[in-house]
Structures are given as C-alpha cells and as structure tokens.
Chains A and B, each alone.
Chain A
Amino acid sequence: MYRGQSGQWSWLLHRVTGLAILLFLLVHIVDITLIGFGPTIYNDAISIFSLWPIRLVSLALIGAVLFHAFNGIRIILIDFWAAGYKYQSQMFYVVLAVTILCFLPMAYFVVAPIFGICPQGSCSMTAM
C-alpha cells in the first residue's frame, strides 16, 4: 500500500475479492459434483446453503462479485478510454455506489428467510 489513496484501495479490494471468489468457485465446483450421486445425497448436501451462517457467506460472496465486476469495468475504461485515467478516482466512488445499490436489494432476498420471510413465495431454512 502506498499512501492509501483510492487507486491503492481499489487495487487491494480487487485482489482480495478476486481471491475470495476463486476460493468459493473451487469449493463450488466440488460441491456441485455431488449432483451426479442422485437427489438424496445432493439435496442433503446443498441444504447447508440454507444455514444462516452460510447465507451470510453467500451474502459476502455476492458483495465481492458485484464489486469485482464493477471495478473490472472501471479498469477496462481506464485501459481503453484515453481520458479514463483522469477519472479513475471518481469512477472508484461510482463503483462503490453502484455496488452498494445492487447489493442492498439482493441482500434482502438472501437474508429475509433467516427471519422467516420468503420474498419469492417459497423458501426454507435448515436448522442448525
């Protein structure tokens, strides 16, 4: 980190979110393999995703993906738009704003079942 300006924070966040998403992806490839073992084993295994702590992990993953995606667009804009580098700092704040704006409604759908609310009409919670 150098003087902790927005460029460094975006760089660090891009790395950390990228590595976290990768770790989840590797786990996810393995857990989805269980679908080849039939409905009983698969449904039993993925009921883990409905535990409240795992819902919170999913929520963190959603936040990480949204930030990484929008900050990636910012990086591409700096690469291909001649004047892009002049606005890198402003664009970083736009990235943060858009991330939060998309995150909040998605978070409601993920977290609501913990409190017994099913926005989609049907959902269930796995008891701890």
Chain B
Amino acid sequence: MAAPVKEGQKITSYGASARPTGGTGFETFSWWFFRVSGVALVFLAIIHLFLMHVSTDVSETVYDFVAKRYDNPFWRGYDLLLLTLALFHGLNGLRIVCDDYISSRGWRVAIVSGIFVIAISFWLLGMMTIITFHRNINVAQSILGMLGH
C-alpha cells in the first residue's frame, strides 16, 4: 500500500510513493529501505556490470577468474551485499506492483506470501554459493557425498 498522502499535500506524479510522514510500520521501513539500498545498488550493480562486461569480457569470466577473485574476501563480501540488497529491493518492488494490481485480498495474501518464500529461498541459495565456494572443491559432489550418494 502506498503511504498515505496528507490533506493539502502537493501531489506530483514522479514514479514513487510520497515520503512517509512518520511511523514505524513496515511500509515506512519499506520506503526507507528502497532508498538506502537503492543508493548502495547504484554503485554495487554498475561496478559489477563494469567488471563483468567492460574491464573483462564476459567470455573470460570463467571458473579461474571467479576463483582468483574469491581468494580476496573483499569480493565475497561485495557479492554477498549485492545479492542481499538487490534481491530484497527487487522482490519488495514486485510486492508493491502486486499490491497495485491484485484487488482480491485472498490472492494478494497468497502471492505476497509466495514472494516471501522466493526471497528466503533465493537468498539462501545465493549465500550458500558465495560462502561455500572453494577453489578445487566440488561443493555439489561433497554435499551429495554426505547424503550417501
């Protein structure tokens, strides 16, 4: 739901909800999260694109390239931050879009719950990939081995 607009407040159409006038609820948090994560993502995402498509051609971003990069914990931290902020910024955006277009309350609750499940699942999957990566260790095989395969 969009933040309430106070009576007499000048409304301009610019592509976002009006700045919340206070409150500690989820929608106020969401509004601030969009802006704070957005400012960080301007740098995180554009630098990521530059590194993977400009300074190195995408065809050269192979296993060894990632292994060298992940020898430095800075880049693991960088990717964890990019993953976390981009995923929650994006799925929160999807939630806002669903709130706008799905008028049935039941469907809205069902779909927003689904978005929540997607958020947690993809976050765990991405975190696992970044944290467990180790040069020369086949993580997938190790996990299957532990499960007895």
Show the binding face of A for B, using Cβ within 8 Å: 2, 5, 7-8, 10-11, 14-15, 18-19, 21-22, 25-26, 29-30, 32-33, 35-39, 42-43, 46-47, 49-50, 55, 58, 61-62, 65-66, 69-76, 78-80, 85, 88, 102, 105-106, 109-110, 113, 118-120, 122-126
Asked if B61 and A8 make an inter-chain contact with CB atoms under 8 angstroms apart, the answer reads no
Asked if B125 and A65 make an inter-chain contact with CB atoms under 8 angstroms apart, the answer reads no
Q: How large is the interface on B (under 10, 10 to 19, 20 to 34, 35 or more residues)?
A: 35 or more
B-chain residues with CB within 8 Å of residue A69 when the two chains form the complex: 38, 41-42, 45-46
- Mostly helix, strand, loop or mixed at chain A's interface? helix
Asked if A25 and B90 make an inter-chain contact with CB atoms under 8 angstroms apart, the answer reads yes
Asked if B39 and A76 make an inter-chain contact with CB atoms under 8 angstroms apart, the answer reads yes
- A43-B63 contact, Cβ under 8 Å, with A22-B90, A36-B138, A78-B12: yes
Asked if A123 and B45 make an inter-chain contact with CB atoms under 8 angstroms apart, the answer reads no
Most buried by B among A58, A105, A109: A109
Asked if A106 and B15 make an inter-chain contact with CB atoms under 8 angstroms apart, the answer reads no
Most buried by B among A15, A21, A25, A106: A25
A-B contact count (CB 8 A): 156
A-chain residues with CB within 8 Å of residue B140 when the two chains form the complex: 36-38
Q: In the complex, A103→B100 CA distance in Å?
A: 31
A-chain residues with CB within 8 Å of residue B94 when the two chains form the complex: 19, 22
Which of B35, B55, B139 interacts with A76 by CB under 8 Å? B35
B-chain residues with CB within 8 Å of residue A118 when the two chains form the complex: 57
A-chain residues with CB within 8 Å of residue B2 when the two chains form the complex: none
